[in-house]
Structure 1
């Protein structure tokens, strides 16, 4: 029985040694596999980061172009509005000058009898002038009278 015991001890010893070798080999392979996966993840991370960075740069350019168009549009509209306001200001100024000239002309006409009231009289359609009867008549034969509103 001692031989069987020796064989069993030898087998157990070999089994332990084989289990230890297998464990060391597996540990070594796992470390190698872990290193490979770590490097693959780092490589993927770099590729993804580069892709995200490129996309962000394209989006930034796109947004910058959009803001540039908006700014250009605002400047154009502002210049156009300023031009319209400037033009209208000159038109208003010219109109004020024309109104002042017309007021002066009206005052001058009023001073020269421009406020007289003319109409047509009778069936013949002759021109008639409204007379201020309260002012009286003048001349040798009272042939002159003062027009109303004069």
Structure 2
């Protein structure tokens, strides 16, 4: 029995030694696997960070271009509004000036005609000249009560003031 006991003790020692050696091999394998996983995770994190940085740069570039485009569009719109406003104001001022000149010319002509009419009325004993009809022909007021004169009765007396 002692050989069985010795054999069991040897088997137990071998089993413990094998268990210890298997544990150390598993520790080494897990450590190596852990290092490999850590390295892969670090590489993956670097790739993700690089991708995020690249995406951020592209997004920033796109936003910058869109901002510049919006600023350009807004400035062009305001420039167009200002130019159109200036042109409208200038053309309105030109039209008002031209109308003012026409009114001044007409006023001067009316004043001259009034002076001429007053002068003619004084020299012709109050006879007033005017324009008559659609063709605006010169005419004078006559006194129909004074009667007609001449061979063909085509003459009449002018009405005085």
Gaps spanning 5+ residues in structure 2: where?
A: 115-129, 144-155
Question: Partner of 1:51 in structure 2?
Answer: 51
Question: Partner of 2:64 in structure 1?
Answer: 64
The change in CA–CA distance for 1:109 and 1:23 in structure 2 (over 3 A counts) is same
**How far apart are residue 108 of structure 1 and its match?**
2.8
Dislocated runs of 4+, deviation >6 Å:
none
TM score, norm. by length of structure 1: 0.74
Distance between the aligned counterparts of 2:136 and 2:110, measured in 1? Answer: 23
**How far apart are residue 22 of structure 1 and its match?**
0.7
Whether 1:88 aligns to 2:88 is yes
SS at match of 1:143: coil
Whether 1:119 aligns to 2:119 is no
The change in CA–CA distance for 1:78 and 1:130 in structure 2 (over 3 A counts) is farther
Residue 140 of structure 2 contacts residue 158 of structure 2 at CA under 8 Å; is this kept in 1? no
Once the two structures are overlaid, the 10-residue window that deviates more, 46-55 or 86-95, is 46-55
TM score, norm. by length of structure 2: 0.69
SS at match of 2:64: helix
Distance between the aligned counterparts of 2:34 and 2:108, measured in 1? Answer: 109
Distance between the aligned counterparts of 2:94 and 2:49, measured in 1? Answer: 66
Gaps spanning 5+ residues in structure 1: where?
A: 134-140
